[in-house]
Amino acid sequence: MPRALLIVLDSVGIGGAEDAEAYGDAGADTVGHIAEACAEGCGDQAGLRQGPLHLPHMTALGLGLAAEASTGRMPPGLAPQGPLNGAWGYGVETSKGKDTPSGHWEIAGVPVTFDWGYFPSTIPTFPEALTTALVERGNLPGILGDKHASGTTIIDEFGAEHMRTGKPIVYTSVDSVLQIAAHEESFGLERLYELCRIGRELCDEYKIGRVIARPFVGSPEAGFKRTGNRKDFATPPPSDTILDTLDKAGRSVVTVGKIGDIFAHRATGREIKPNGNDACLSAAIAAMGDLPDGGFVFANLVDFDSEFGHRRDIPGYAAALETFDRRIPEIEAALQPGDLVIITADHGNDPSWPGTDHTREHVPILCFGSGVKLGTIGRRESFADIGASVLAHVGVRNPGKGTPWL
């Protein structure tokens, strides 16, 4: 039986969706604006990344063509220079919101039809009842923050006071999240996770999608730095995803990166959670090495979003894309005859855009493998077509949403 590998390049959007204006994102274009900035000489301060955006392997898979179909503009440097090596198209999100669960759940066949809850842009931002319960149940002396903030900025602002008082830093963003930052050593990592479990329970009535543990290390003198021990506590999908369908069919599933967290660890098979894009991609490639026939590997590469998109780091984002592109031959080498690879994204996070939040965008869909028909798969009217195509490829009936292109 054939196998499938699905890689989500977290936040690698290719142009504002038709409803982007409703989200304040009309004109956003993650890949297009990065390519334009690089064509104009964008480089990093260390001089390690300079010049035009160079993505030869994804370009040969149709990335530039997908971006052009999405926006009407070919990003500089992404026009194919030879024969295509894959099938290409772009996906349109039907879910409400522009956050991680919405995108991933829709990819897996469950578009979000309800409205997420969000915390207001006020100080304090959290309802008094929620804060009081979190303090009491968590046996805390209080909390710090209680506002919308960038995750790195708020640690710099409150890190020293947190270490002095033992009060965790609690904050949010325009996404449906409650985030809790605490020092791994002075507060304790497991204590932070337990506090987030309490927060998860408390946030259910507010329809908040995720409670995120944001551990950090360091000192007021040397500065603070977030670690790779982030953990997301997500509400579970409201109905069966393709992961549930594959589990019921007895298929082998491996999930890499934060996929397990996003799906609340339901039907997520063998979970592997390394730190960073390269480690996650290496784990996904290794998983293909012993994946049984009919199996599925589902990977998320979060650094594009967390390290570069939210931080509005255009050179860093460009370098991360180029690093991933260089490793595509490794993915190809790990495949068996009949295997399918799909590369896509869950939303945008245009690093040239105002603010620090996600952008409502179309996503690329690039697929390759020995049996893939080369050329366009066109505009896909839901991300759910991706999951439906995975099920069609591995020969499992799709009971949910989505229309396969295979």
**pLDDT tens column, 369-385:** 998 999 999 999 999 99
What's the rounded mean pLDDT across residues 175-186? 96
pLDDT the model gives residue 336: 96
Query: CA-to-CA distance for 402 and 399, rounded, in angstroms?
Result: 9
Tell me the per-residue pLDDT of 241-260, one tens digit each, with 9 for 90 and over.
999 999 999 999 999 999 99
Sign of torsion over alpha carbons 155, 157, 158, 163: positive
Contact criterion met (CB below 8 Å) for 124 and 149: no
pLDDT the model gives residue 43: 67
Strand order in the sheet with 340-344: 270-272, 253-256, 296-301, 4-9, 340-344, 363-368, 87-91, 375-380
CA neighbours closer than 13 Å in the CB half-sphere of residue 264: 16
CA neighbours closer than 13 Å in the CB half-sphere of residue 12: 29
What's the rounded mean pLDDT across residues 174-182? 94
Other Cβ atoms closer than 10 A to 271 = 16
Q: Which class is domain 4-114+238-394?
A: alpha beta
Top mean-pLDDT range of 82-86, 312-316, 380-384:
380-384
Checking 122-127 for CB contacts under 8 A at 24+ apart, the result is 122/147, 123/147, 125/171, 125/172, 126/170, 126/172, 126/178, 127/206
- 216 closest CA partner among 171, 178, 184, 172: 184
156: confidence class by pLDDT, cuts 50, 70, 90? very high
What's the rounded mean pLDDT across residues 180-190? 98
pLDDT the model gives residue 151: 85
pLDDT the model gives residue 45: 59
Contact criterion met (CB below 8 Å) for 375 and 90: no
The model carries a pTM of 0.93
The CATH 3.40.720.10 domain(s) of the chain lie at 4-114+238-394
pLDDT the model gives residue 47: 63
Q: Look at residue 295 and tell me whether its pLDDT is greater than 90.
A: yes
- Amino acid 69 reads A
pLDDT the model gives residue 371: 86
Residues of the chain with pLDDT > 90: what percent? 92
pLDDT the model gives residue 286: 98
Query: CA-to-CA distance for 183 and 353, rounded, in angstroms?
Result: 31
The CATH 3.30.70.1250 domain(s) of the chain lie at 128-233
Q: Look at residue 116 and tell me whether its pLDDT is greater than 60.
A: yes
- The dihedrals phi and psi of 208, each to the nearest 5 degrees, come to -85, 130
More confident residue, 406 or 280: 280
pLDDT the model gives residue 373: 94
Q: Which residue(s) pair with 137 in the sheet?
A: none
pLDDT the model gives residue 44: 62
What's the rounded mean pLDDT across residues 134-149? 97
What's the rounded mean pLDDT across residues 87-105? 95
What's the rounded mean pLDDT across residues 84-101? 95
pLDDT the model gives residue 97: 85
Tell me the per-residue pLDDT of 31-54, one tens digit each, with 9 for 90 and over.
999 999 999 987 665 567 889 999
What's the rounded mean pLDDT across residues 93-104? 94
- CATH homologous superfamily, domain 128-233: Phosphopentomutase (3.30.70.1250)
pLDDT the model gives residue 395: 97
Query: CA-to-CA distance for 89 and 72, rounded, in angstroms?
Result: 13
What's the rounded mean pLDDT across residues 122-128? 97
User: Across all residues in the chain, what is the average pLDDT?
Assistant: 96
Both tokens assigned to 238: 């409201």
